[in-house]
Chain A
C-alpha cells in the first residue's frame, strides 16, 4: 500500500468514524458505521486480505449492520435531543488524550528503525490458505466458535420469546 492510497483511505475513515459517534440520529450513525466498515474492507484488499475483506462486507455490512438498522427502525428511535453532561469525563479525556499522543509519537519515532516487510507466501490471504489453516491449526477454536454462535442463536430466540 503506497502513501497516496493510505491517506485516501485513512482520512475519510477517521472523519466518518467521528461522524458515527457525533451524529445525533441513530440511523445516520449506523449508516456512517456501514461506510466505515466498507472503507475498511477496501483497506483490507490493499493489505492482501481478500477473504477477510469479503467477509467484512458479508458479515459486518450485510448482516450485523442490517440488524442494527432493523432494531433502530423497530424501536422507532428519534434523534437525541441533548447529550447528558457527565462529570469527570473532561479529566479522563485529557489524560487519555495525552497517553494516546505519547504512544503515537513513540510509534512514529520508532517507525524509521523498523525492519522491512517480509516477503509474502504464494497464496497469501486467499480462501484456500485461510480455509486450510482454519481446519488444521485452528480446528479447536473453529469448533468452539461454532458452539458460541449456536449459543447466541438459542439465547436470542429465548430472549425474544419472553
Chain B
C-alpha cells in the first residue's frame, strides 16, 4: 500500500504547478485554469485523507469545493467575456484600470 504521504506529496506538486501557472502566465483564462488545478490538488489530498482515516467528511468537503468551483467559473467566465468585449484583451497585465 502507498503511504498517505505519497498522496500528499503528489497533491503538493500539483498545487505548486498551479501556483506557477498563476505567476507565470498572463492570459486570464489560463490563470483561471491554473486556479482550477490548485483546487483539484486540494481535492486530491482531501480524498486521500478521507481514505486514510476511514471518514467520509473529506469526500463531502470535495463535493462542496466542486460546487463552489462551478459557481466561480460561471461568474468568472462571464466577467472575462465582459472584459474582452470592452477592452479586446485577455492579458492580465493590460487590465490595469483599477491600479493606483
**A interface with B by C-beta (< 8 Å):** 1-3, 6, 10, 13-14, 17-18, 20-21, 26, 29-30, 33, 36-37, 40, 43-44, 47-49, 51-52, 55-56, 59-60, 63-64, 67-68, 71-72, 74-75, 77, 80, 83-84, 86, 89, 92-93, 96, 100, 103-104, 107-108, 110-111, 114, 117-121, 124-125, 129-130, 133-134, 138, 141, 145, 148-149, 151-153, 155-156, 159-160, 162
Can you list 7 A-B contacts with CB-CB less than 8 angstroms, sorted by A residue number?
A21-B18, A47-B50, A64-B73, A103-B12, A124-B54, A159-B78, A160-B82
Given contacts A71-B77, A117-B52, A118-B54, 17 further A-B contacts (CB under 8 A): A17-B17, A21-B21, A21-B24, A43-B44, A49-B51, A60-B36, A64-B69, A64-B73, A67-B74, A75-B90, A77-B90, A86-B23, A107-B9, A107-B12, A117-B51, A145-B64, A156-B77
Which of A37, A75, A89, A133 interacts with B81 by CB under 8 Å?
A: A75
| Band of interface residues on B | 35 or more
Q: Mark B5-18, 1 if CB is under 8 A from A, else 0.
A: 11111101110111
Q: Which residue of chain A is the closest to B15 with respect to CB atoms? A: A100
B66 touches A117 (CB 8 A): no
Residue B4 CB within 8 A of the other chain: yes
For the complex, would chain B's binding face be called helix, strand, loop or mixed by DSSP majority?
helix
Contacts of A1 in B (CB 8 A): 1-2
Return A119 CB to nearest CB of chain B, in Å. 6
B77 touches A145 (CB 8 A): no
Chain B residues within 8 Å of A, Cβ to Cβ: 1-10, 12-14, 16-21, 23-27, 29-30, 32-34, 36-37, 40, 43-44, 47-48, 50-57, 59-60, 62-64, 66-75, 77-82, 84, 90-91, 93
